[in-house]
Chains A and B, each alone.
Chain A
């Protein structure tokens, strides 16, 4: 490395690789210590960034490593990478604290490699480094699904991996086309969104797949609902928000992202109404929340980019809190379906209260972090003269409160008790470390909402926005209270139903099944038919032709060879009569014959040369 610059990703990756070697009694300390060191490293990097107003131009490129004629840049440091690096490191600290009791070391290795991949991608200054860390994220995170070791998690992990492998291939193809084909260069900077080449579109395809933009989104609820109780806490933070970072970096102002983002925000809300599994509901709600961010990237103004970063930051914290709450219910009871839960506040009161904080925060209640982050995007929509975008995003925020603030807490902790005796017996607040992780997140939700300079000071562009105006306060409270009124009036319609909802993953689930059927039925039966045909017609014909060859060999070849041999033997017998044993006479005859032949040859040569 050209200078001693330690990437935060390196700390987590090295920490992960050392996990199998750490003695058992030191493991918990290691699990707490390493992410904290990575977070401190991120803080120290952040301190080197000048104060305000230098988002695009003030980047410092550090940690350059020459590799195959390229310069890998591990440390592009500016305000954009700093805010994402900061919150990802927080997510690693909280997620590791939450998973402290997990004995399966492979899960810790996978979690940290995954978090390291995310941090590496965020600080990457060139496409090659970005791609390496991007793939590290995909290939490590899949283990957080597989290691649940339950029926269905293997297949869910495989689907997740296949989708992300396809996205990775698109990204790589795009990088090669853009960097080499169009001469765009290897530095990962903003694209010219008004003149997109094929490579840029492919790179965008790789990014939006990870951001779960429909129709490429269905991997998310499929995988996050199937992950381990602690793995999904990591999953919900890193992949989508790293993609949002990449979109902010590369595609700010790309118009197509605005309708896509708004559609996402509403799509997630609709599916969250239908969903019966609490973690899949939260996963659909990630689609909705990332929709706000994607729309903000599409709007592309400094206020909108600030909004995307602020919402990503706060979302990592409160969505993590919600996944920890539902993960605690799953871990303690073995259930995550609303149709098998209910009334659990008596058994898990602290889990309920902490989950409620996450629900209120994501719904943008005053004094919580959602209240200071989400309005930036809505305001950016209105200020960019896109009133439809502003109102539709407000409608999506009604849906947010409806599901995450009301449906999740109500149907798990109140509502009709659907718990089986075993589930009820097992239910209790989770161990201290899980409660501590949730408490830290809940504190951050309030801290971010009450002390706005903490968040606004990190945003990439200067902030001139005050969320605590009387108008914004009353607007928010009115929407939330009247949404609650609608919820309680129509609560019967929201009663959990034990169903799954068809989504675009139907195409690859059923497509995979159709492919297997195609391999099993037409291809295999064709193969069997040809085998039979060969055995009956081909093999018999071959035997007949072999018999013909054998009789030809016996009669013709053997007869010819035998005849030739008997002819040679006859000539030999006759010649034997000429041999009388007189050597001198024989030599004289031979030389005479040779001389006659030589004279003849010379005569003919002379005649023709003339």
Chain B
């Protein structure tokens, strides 16, 4: 088995994979949005019972982490690689 061939095979079908990804996202969102599909009795808090809570949590959380961290970094935390060189 040559893993490179498999990865190249998948990369050549990027557009198809993206569509499959969208379908998966839609299914996951639907699973969450339709109340009776998943029993939310195990939810820790009431807030989690809001439709699309965890998908939005993941997406917004990821965006916030990237944007705020980069803003913090560019506010003077990130320095040239030779910053500590003497």
Chain A residues within 8 Å of B, Cβ to Cβ:
269-271, 273-274, 276, 345-346, 349-350, 352-353, 378-379, 382-383, 387, 390, 394-395, 398-399, 402, 469-472, 474-475, 477-483, 485-487, 489-490, 493-494, 497-502, 509, 513
CA distance A269 to B54 in the complex (A): 19
Most buried by A among B39, B45, B55: B55
User: With A349-B4, A500-B84, A509-B84 given, is the CB distance from A493 to B61 under 8 Å?
Assistant: no
Q: Is the CB of B76 within 8 A of A470?
A: no
Q: Which of B24-75 contact A (CB under 8 A)?
A: 24-25, 28-29, 31-32, 38-45, 47-48, 54-63, 65-70, 72-73
Q: Are A479 and B3 in contact (CB under 8 A)?
A: no
**Which B residues have a C-beta under 8 Å from some C-beta of A?**
2-4, 7, 21, 24-25, 28-29, 31-32, 38-45, 47-48, 54-63, 65-70, 72-73, 76-81, 83-84, 86
- B40→A269 contact, CB < 8 A: no
Closest to B80 in A: A499
Q: Which residues of A contact B70 (CB under 8 A)?
A: 273-274, 493
Residues of A with C-beta under 8 A to B67: 490, 493
Judge whether B79 and A500 touch: CB under 8 Å: yes
B residues less than 8 Å from A482 (CB atoms): 25, 28, 54-59, 62
Residues of chain B within 8 A (CB-CB) of A470 are 38-39
Contacts of A499 in B (CB 8 A): 73, 78-81
* Alpha-carbon distance A53/B54, docked complex (angstroms): 35
Q: Is the CB of B62 within 8 A of A483?
A: yes
Please determine whether B61 and A501 come into contact, CB atoms closer than 8 angstroms: no
**Given A353-B3, A490-B63, A493-B70, also A485-B25 (CB < 8 A):** yes
> How far is B28's CA from A474's CA once the two chains are assembled, in angstroms?
8
Given contacts A274-B72, A471-B40, A478-B58, 9 further A-B contacts (CB under 8 A): A270-B72, A387-B45, A390-B44, A479-B57, A480-B58, A481-B25, A482-B28, A486-B62, A502-B79
Beta-carbon nearest neighbor of A381 in chain B? B44
Please report the C-alpha to C-alpha distance between residue A11 and residue B5 in the assembled complex, in whole angstroms: 45
Query: Of the candidates B55, B69, B81, which one forms a contact with A498 in the assembled complex, judged by CB atoms under 8 Å apart?
Result: B81
Provide the residues of chain B in CB contact with A513, threshold 8 Å. Answer: 86
Q: Is the CB of A402 within 8 A of B54?
A: no
* Docked pose: A279 CA to B1 CA in angstroms: 29
Contact call A502/B54, Cβ cutoff below 8 A: no
Once A470-B38, A493-B70 are accepted as A-B contacts, the answer to whether A486 and B58 lie under 8 Å apart by CB is yes
**Please, which residue of chain A has its CB at the minimum distance from the CB of B69?**
A273
Main secondary structure of the interface of B (DSSP, over half): helix
- Within 8 Å CB of B59, what residues of A? 482-483, 485-486
A502 to B39, CA, bound (A): 46
Q: A349-B7, A353-B3, A390-B44 are in contact. Are A500 and B28 (CB under 8 A)?
A: no
Complex interface: chain A residues within 8 A of B31 (CB):
474, 478
A399 and B65 contact, CB distance less than 8 A: yes
CB pairs A–B below 8 angstroms (5 shown): A349-B4, A352-B7, A395-B65, A478-B55, A501-B73
Q: Tell me the complex Cα distance, A253–B21, Å.
A: 43
What's the least CB distance linking B49 to chain A, in Å?
Answer: 10
Q: Is the CB of A345 within 8 A of B54?
A: no
Q: B38 near A474 (CB under 8 angstroms)?
A: yes
When chains A and B are docked, how far (Å) is the Cα of A526 from the Cα of B40?
74
> Can you name the residue of chain B whose Cβ is closest to the Cβ of A345?
B7
Establish whether residues B61 and A274, one from each chain, have CB atoms under 8 Å apart when the complex forms. Answer: no
Report which of A270, A387, A469 forms a contact with B65, defined as CB distance below 8 A. A270
Cα A594 to Cα B86 with chains together (Å): 93
Q: Looking at the assembled complex, report how far the CB atom of A216 sits from the nearest CB atom of chain B, in whole angstroms.
A: 19
Which residues of chain B are near A383, meaning CB under 8 Å? 44
The CA of A490 and the CA of B86, in the complex, are separated in Å by: 36
Q: Are B78 and A493 touching (Cβ within 8 A)?
A: no
Nearest A residue to B42 via CB reads: A471
B78 touches A273 (CB 8 A): no
> Which residue from A274, A346, A398, A474 sits with its C-beta under 8 Å from B78?
A274
Q: Given known contacts A350-B3, A398-B57, is B83 in contact with A500 (CB within 8 Å)? A: yes
Contacts A345-B4, A480-B58, A482-B55; A471 near B45 (Cβ below 8 A): no
Query: Which residues of B have CB within 8 Å of A485?
Result: 21, 25, 58-59, 62
Q: How long is the Cα–Cα vector from A302 to B77 in the complex, in angstroms?
A: 40
Bound CA–CA A211/B21 (angstroms): 39
Enumerate chain A residues within 8 angstroms of B76, measured Cβ to Cβ. Answer: 502
Instruction: Tell me if A387 and B44 are in contact (CB < 8 A).
Output: yes
Query: What is the CA–CA distance of A270 and B66 in the complex, to the nearest angstrom?
Result: 8
4 tightest A-B CB contacts, nearest first: A486-B62, A482-B58, A382-B44, A273-B69
Centre residue among A383, A481, A489 by max chain B CB count within 10 A: A481
Interchain CA distance A513-B83 in the complex, whole Å: 13
Nearest CB on B from A428, distance (A): 12
Let me know if B65 and A402 touch, CB within 8 A: yes
Contacts A349-B3, A482-B55 given; does A398 touch B66 at CB 8 Å: no
Are B65's CB and A398's CB within 8 A?
yes
Chain A residues in 8 Å Cβ range of B58? 398, 478-483, 485-486
Are B38's CB and A479's CB within 8 A? Answer: no
Cα distance A407–B31 in the bound complex, in angstroms:
28
* Contact between A269 and B65, CB atoms less than 8 A apart: yes
Q: Which residues of A contact B80 (CB under 8 A)?
A: 498-500
Interfacial chain B residues near A269, Cβ < 8 Å:
65, 69
| A274 and B25 in contact, given A349-B7, A480-B58, A482-B59 (Cβ under 8 angstroms) | no
User: Shortest beta-carbon distance, A163 to chain B, in Å?
Assistant: 16
